[in-house]
Amino acid sequence: MKFNKPKFWADKFNIISIFLFPLSLIVAFIIFLKKTFIKSIKFDTPIICLGNIYLGGTGKTPASIFLARELFNIGKNPVIVKKFYSNHKDEHDLIKKNFTNLILNKNRIQGIRDAEKANYDCIILDDGLQDYKIKTNLNILCFNQNQLIGNGLILPAGPLRESLNSLKKVQIVLINGNKDHVFEKKILNINQNLKIFYSNYKPENLEQFKNKKLLAIAGIGNPENFFRLIEENNLDIKEKLIFPDHHIFSQIEIKNIKNKVKTKGYQIITTEKDFFKMKDFNIHQLKYLKISLEIFEKEKFIKIIKRVLNEKY
């Protein structure tokens, strides 16, 4: 999906949200029907699903890559399964660059079956929490602390794909950001058995951007998170360009970027995902901020995953 998030999604009380709320009730009822009447399929290979309820920009793909590598390092043979969207090539390229075992299919169930035929011993389902046809062994719900649940309303009045009650089918919550006792209490009231972990992004190539006039470009779910990470590391952003998630750059947009670099002496800093979208346009000074995901209490996190995998055998 290509979109720019409306600002009213972050406001608790907003006239637009109130106006759209009846539509959100209809969406909630449709979700209820799906959950009630769709029969889920159980597979032989254990499935770990990383999903979100806040629409886009919660870090589930970096977390999927992190988990796949960690499982590989302990002797498992994992694969990431992801639904194929033709306009998500940037995300596909990002995964392939960081982990080779990737299966893409327009139908997630068929993708899982392809993984089983290839004899992978565990499946990481990137973004499948709302696919009620699939019975998973473990659900990990990802949040970014900067947004959490926005105004707390379901689409279109708010940014949620389903309500917080979805936490009842979740075992682990992974929050990218600082510890938040208020939010923890809120979600534990829904599911007291939740295991809550925190993560952050660690920049790896800051030296390339120090003492440079930066043109920061982001076409991701929550571009403000990317800009904030840059500013927190004392880099000098002179100008920002924001595009929708999975945006395909036009020739005019690329020409505009090149002109800014040439006339203002900018160094471009962008996300790794956006870099894949722009790298073939021969843009001078195009570099991306390389980041790695760190999960606090990683050993405890992996121990839970291993226990779930071992239960299958």
Domains in the chain and their CATH numbers? 24-199+296-310 (3.40.50.300), 205-289 (3.40.50)
pLDDT of residue 14 exceeding 80: yes
pLDDT of residue 259 exceeding 90: yes
Radius of gyration of the chain from its Cα atoms, rounded to whole angstroms: 20
- pLDDT at residue number 57: 84
- pLDDT at residue number 312: 52
Question: Average pLDDT of 203-209?
Answer: 96
- pLDDT at residue number 313: 41
pLDDT digits (tens, 9 = 90+) for 141-173: 999 999 999 999 999 999 999 999 999 999 999
Q: What is the C-alpha separation between 217 and 239, in angstroms, rounded?
A: 9
Question: Average pLDDT of 11-16?
Answer: 86
Question: Average pLDDT of 307-312?
Answer: 81
More confident position, 5 or 304:
304
3-state secondary structure 213-274: CEEEEECCCCHHHHHHHHHHCCCCEEEEEECCCCCCCCHHHHHHHHHHHHHHCCEEEECHHH
| Nearest partner of 174 among 146, 199, 137, 201, judged by Cα | 199
pLDDT digits (tens, 9 = 90+) for 224-235: 999 999 999 999
Q: Judge contact between 108 and 126, C-beta under 8 A.
A: no
Query: 171: which 2 tokens?
Result: 């075992």
Q: What is the C-alpha separation between 142 and 52, in angstroms, rounded?
A: 5
pLDDT of residue 222 exceeding 80: yes
- Tokens 């949200």 label which residue? 17
| Nearest partner of 157 among 277, 18, 276, 304, judged by Cα | 18
Question: Average pLDDT of 206-220?
Answer: 96
| Secondary structure class of 288 (helix, strand, coil) | strand
pLDDT of residue 98 exceeding 60: yes
What's the pLDDT band for 75 if we cut at 50, 70, 90? very high
Question: Average pLDDT of 113-137?
Answer: 97
Q: What is the C-alpha separation between 196 and 186, in angstroms, rounded?
A: 12
The phi, psi pair for 50, rounded to 5°, reads: -110, 115
Q: Judge contact between 52 and 60, C-beta under 8 A.
A: yes
pLDDT of residue 91 exceeding 50: yes
Q: Is the dihedral of CA 90, 144, 112, 48 positive or negative?
A: positive
- pLDDT at residue number 292: 94
| Nearest partner of 82 among 17, 34, 138, 134, judged by Cα | 134
DSSP 125-159: EES-TT-TTB--SEEEEEEETTTTTTTSPBTTTSS
| Nearest partner of 103 among 111, 95, 91, judged by Cα | 111
Q: What is the pLDDT of the chain when averaged over all its residues?
A: 95
- pLDDT at residue number 198: 98
- pLDDT at residue number 56: 83
Question: Average pLDDT of 71-100?
Answer: 95
Q: Is residue 80 classed exposed, middle or buried when 0-12, 13-18 and 19+ CB atoms within 10 A define those classes?
A: buried
Which helix (DSSP H) or strand (DSSP E) does residue 197 occupy? Answer: strand 195-203
Q: Judge contact between 177 and 196, C-beta under 8 A.
A: no
- The residues near 220 (Cβ < 8 Å, ≥ 6 apart) are 56, 57, 226, 245, 271, 273, 274
What's the pLDDT band for 13 if we cut at 50, 70, 90? confident
Q: What is the C-alpha separation between 269 and 285, in angstroms, rounded?
A: 9
More confident position, 174 or 2:
174
- pLDDT at residue number 3: 59
pLDDT of residue 290 exceeding 80: yes
pLDDT of residue 2 exceeding 60: no
List the strands of the sheet with 237-242, edge to edge. 237-242, 214-218, 267-270, 286-288
pLDDT of residue 253 exceeding 60: yes
Question: Average pLDDT of 200-218?
Answer: 96
Question: Average pLDDT of 276-283?
Answer: 93
What's the pLDDT band for 237 if we cut at 50, 70, 90? very high
Q: Judge contact between 43 and 112, C-beta under 8 A.
A: yes
